[in-house]
Amino acid sequence: MTESHKFGTLSPITCHAWNKDRTQIAFSPNNHEVEVHQRNGNDWKLLDTLNQHDLRVMGIDWAPNTNRIVTCAADRNAYVWSQDSTGKWKPTLVLLRINRAATCVKWSPNENKFAVGSGARLISICYFESENDWWVSKHIKKPIRSTVSTLDWHPNNVLLATGSADFKVRVFSAFIKDIEKMPEGTAWGPKMPLGQLMAEYVNSPLGGGWIHCVSFSPDGSKVAWVGHDSSINVADPTQGSAFIKLKTEFLPFLSCTWISDKTIVAAGHSCVPILYKLNGNSLIFAGKLDASQKKESGGLSAMRMFHSLDKQARSENSDTSLDSVHQNAISCLCIYQGSKSRAAKISTSGLDGQLVIWDINSLERSIQGLKIE
pLDDT, tens digit (0-9, with 9 covering 90-100), for 127-141: 999 888 899 999 999
- Determine what percent of the chain is predicted with pLDDT higher than 70: 88
* Model pLDDT, residue 303: 64
State the pLDDT confidence band at 317, using cuts at 50, 70 and 90: very low
pLDDT in tens, 217-271: 999 999 999 999 999 999 999 999 999 999 999 999 999 999 999 999 999 999 9
Average pLDDT, the chain: 91
pLDDT in tens, 202-223: 998 776 689 999 999 999 999 9
More confident: 304 or 280: 280
Region 19-28: mean pLDDT is 97
Domain boundaries, the chain: 2-367
Q: Which fold has domain 2-367?
A: Methylamine Dehydrogenase; Chain H (2.130.10)
- Determine what percent of the chain is predicted with pLDDT higher than 90: 81
* Model pLDDT, residue 130: 87
State the pLDDT confidence band at 369, using cuts at 50, 70 and 90: very low
* Model pLDDT, residue 197: 97
* Model pLDDT, residue 207: 64
Contact 143, 197 (CB under 8 A): yes
pLDDT in tens, 78-118: 999 999 999 999 999 999 999 999 999 999 999 999 999 99
State the pLDDT confidence band at 301, using cuts at 50, 70 and 90: low
* Model pLDDT, residue 182: 86
